[in-house]
Amino acid sequence: MPDPSEWSSWTVTSINKYGGDLVANPANWVRYYQQEIANGRYPNNQCIQTDTQTMLMNGCAGGPGSTYDIHQIRIVVQRDKVTVFRGNGQATGN
């Protein structure tokens, strides 16, 4: 599991590259809900989690930062896969 500090901030390099924007739930959380779905406890055969992500750009000298984007993240857990939606993108895995 990635270091949680990676989830909150990172430094932009001189060539405008930055660390990964990691969005994930622990594997045991996903397995629990997949098992619950397999056991018929979710009539729609999925469990959905929705969160709001606020993106901040810190000012010089470590100021409080300015919000430059706010968007929803939706995680859909199904019996055999997990799909994460953010903005115009999505990723699927199991």
For residue 56, what pLDDT is reported?
79
- Please check whether residue 23 is in contact with residue 82, taking contact to mean a CB–CB distance below 8 angstroms: no
In a domain, 8, yes or no: no
> What is the model's pLDDT at position 68?
82
pTM over 0.75: no
Give the mean pLDDT per block of 10 residues along the chain (94 residues): 50 64 78 94 92 79 78 93 87 84
pLDDT of residue 34: 95
**Dist. CA 37–CA 44, nearest whole Å:** 9
Decide if 16 is inside a domain. no
Q: What is the pLDDT of residue 82?
A: 93
Please, are residues 70 and 55 in contact by the beta-carbon 8 Å criterion?
yes
Specify if 38 maps to a domain.
Answer: yes
- Residue-number span of the structural domain to which 43 is assigned: 21-88
